[in-house]
Every structure is written in structure tokens, then in C-alpha cells.
């Protein structure tokens, strides 16, 4: 699925985010930037130990923020580590919105043209997928409509068919409003 909003192509794909050849991919990170399982584990395995070393040098970041490292052995040149909230910690919607917005701003600060984003916080952090999809997509659509962005392509990479379907339905609903 693909739509163009304000000269930015927004795509939804199902697959492995580490396979994408975008300028950067977003990691669904934790505060300590330790890349264990889920998206982070896949990035660590595919990208090599250099990414974790850079994360260790950074030392961590708070929920709702994001930091940037190189992409190691990935096709992507950079990884943006966005720390979304754990479900039940409080103010989850705003924290997720902040993490997505910060990731988009980091991409612009690096003057990147393409970015891939997963379903942040919906894995082990337990954020309900429907709710996360709405927040992640709303923030991204608003960003590309309002910001003078260098981004020309944003790919939402969903690992499984159920997540893809949720994001697709949500995206179609948001762009028809």
C-alpha cells in the first residue's frame, strides 16, 4: 500500500525491517538501549556488534525520545533508536507520540530522504496495536503535512499479517478524514 502526502510517499509493507534499503530504520528501543529481542534483536543480529557498542557509548535515553547510531552491516546507513512506552506506565499515548516525532526530527536533522518505522511499543512493551497504529500514523501524517521535511519516503514495516492489516485499516481511515 502506498500514498503520497505533501510530496512524501508513505508505504506499508509486511516483512523484516532489517531487509529494507532506506537511509535509516527505526528501532523499537528500550531506555538502556540494550538490543535483546524483537526488532532490536533482529537489528543487532543483522547489523553486527558495532550498533550495540554505539548504544553502549550513548548509555541510554528516556521514554519518548530517540537517538541515532550508524547502521553497522545493515542496508540502512543509520538506526534511530526510538524509546516507546511500556503499556501501563502512564501517559503512554503522549510518550509514543513523542518517540515517533523525535525519530522523524532526527531523520530531518541528518537530512535523510527515506525512513522505515516498525510498530513501536507493540511487542514485549504490550501497547495495543490498534491504538499504537493510530498514534504512530497520525503523528507521521501530521509531520509530513506540516514540516518542511527532507524525507521523501516513509515505510511502515510490519512484521506479521495481523499488524499489517491493523496499520492498513487505520491508515485508510486517517487519510479519508
Q: 32 with 87: CB under 8 angstroms?
A: no
- pLDDT mean across residues, the chain: 96
| Chain centre to alpha carbon of residue 127 | 14
Instruction: Using CB atoms within 10 Å of the CB of residue 11, give its burial: 0 to 12 exposed, 13 to 18 middle, 19+ buried.
Output: middle
Q: State the pLDDT at residue 143.
A: 97
Beta strand 2-5 pairing with 24-29? unpaired
If you average pLDDT over residues 4-20, what whole number do you get?
96
Q: If you write DSSP's letter for every residue of 16-83 in order, what string do you get?
A: -GGG--SSEEEEEE-TT----SHHHHHHHHHH-HHHHHHHHHH----TT-EEEEE-TTSSSSEEEEEE
- For the stretch 126-146, pLDDT in tens is 999 999 999 999 999 999 999
β-strand partners of 116: 25, 155
Q: How many CB atoms lie within 10 A of CB 68?
A: 18
Q: State yes or no: pLDDT of 177 exceeds 70.
A: no
Q: Which three cell numbers stand for residue 139?
A: 503523528
- For the stretch 53-87, pLDDT in tens is 999 999 999 999 999 999 999 999 999 999 999 99
3 state SS of 112: coil
The full set of domain ranges for the chain reads 2-175
Q: Which three cell numbers stand for residue 5?
A: 502526502
The class level of CATH for 2-175 reads alpha beta
Q: State the pLDDT at residue 43.
A: 95
If you average pLDDT over residues 19-42, what whole number do you get?
94
Backbone torsions φ then ψ of 5, nearest 5 degrees: -130, 120
Amino acid at each position: 500500500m502506498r500514498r503520497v502526502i505533501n510530496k512524501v510517499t508513505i508505504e506499508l509493507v509486511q516483512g523484516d525491517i532489517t531487509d529494507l534499503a532506506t537511509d535509516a530504520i527505526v528501532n523499537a528501543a528500550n531506555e538502556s538501549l540494550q538490543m535483546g529481542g524483537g526488532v532490536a534483536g533482529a537489528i543487532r543480529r543483522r547489523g553486527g556488534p558495532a550498533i550495540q557498542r554505539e548504544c553502549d557509548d550513548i548509555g541510554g535515553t528516556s521514554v519518548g525520545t530517540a537517538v541515532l547510531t550508524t547502521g553497522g552491516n545493515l542496508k540502512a546507513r543509520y538506526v534511530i533508536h526510538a524509546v516507546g512506552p511500556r503499556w501501563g506506565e502512564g501517559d503512554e499515548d503522549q510518550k509514543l507520540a513523542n518517540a515517533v516525532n523525535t525519530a522523524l526530527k532526527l531523520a530531518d536533522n541528518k537530512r535523510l530522504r527515506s525512513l522505515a518505522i516498525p510498530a513501536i511499543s507493540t511487542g514485549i512493551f504490550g501497547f495495543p496495536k490498534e491504538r499504537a497504529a493510530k498514534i504512530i500514523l497520525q503523528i507521521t501524517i501530521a509531520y509530513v503535512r506540516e514540516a518542511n521535511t527532507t524525507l521523501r519516503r516513509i515505510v511502515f514495516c510490519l512484521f506479521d499479517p495481523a499488524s499489517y492489516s491493523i496499520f492498513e485499516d487505520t491508515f485508510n481511515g486517517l487519510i479519508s478524514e
